[in-house]
Amino acid sequence: MNLNEFTGVFFVVTSKEMDFFFEKSDAFACVLASHGNEVQEENPTNPNVKVYHHVIYGTDRAIRTHLLMDLLKGNRCRQLRGKPKLFFIQVKWMLLFIF
């Protein structure tokens, strides 16, 4: 990929253009840096087992990191099926202490 193709990624506006870009790519890399946290949810199958999810905060809400990765699985993103997907997520954990 040359520099013009690389910078073209930032101007992609339609899903059709994104599909074309993914089809021509050999891999996918996602780099995120934000604040985040670890949230506990109830386990529906066994209430005695704690379930934790890592979340990353955006400008308007938090999203579980595993949901971001699920968006690019082969059954949801045909163009990246069988291609490596790399996620680099740096999160500043926010700890809340209640006294």
Four-residue CA torsion sign, 21, 23, 27, 32: positive
User: Which domain covers residue 60, as residue numbers?
Assistant: 47-94
pLDDT of the residue at 84: 92
Instruction: Evaluate whether residue 75 is within a structural domain.
Output: yes
Instruction: Evaluate whether residue 71 is within a structural domain.
Output: yes
Name the nearest CA neighbour of 64 among 41, 31, 96, 95: 41
Give me the residue label for tokens 């996918």: 28
Q: Is the CB of residue 65 less than 8 Å from the CB of residue 8?
A: no
pTM greater than 0.75 (yes/no): no
- Count how many domains the chain has: 1
Instruction: Evaluate whether residue 69 is within a structural domain.
Output: yes
Summarize pLDDT for 24-63 with one digit per residue, the tens: 889 888 888 888 888 888 888 888 888 888 888 888 888 8
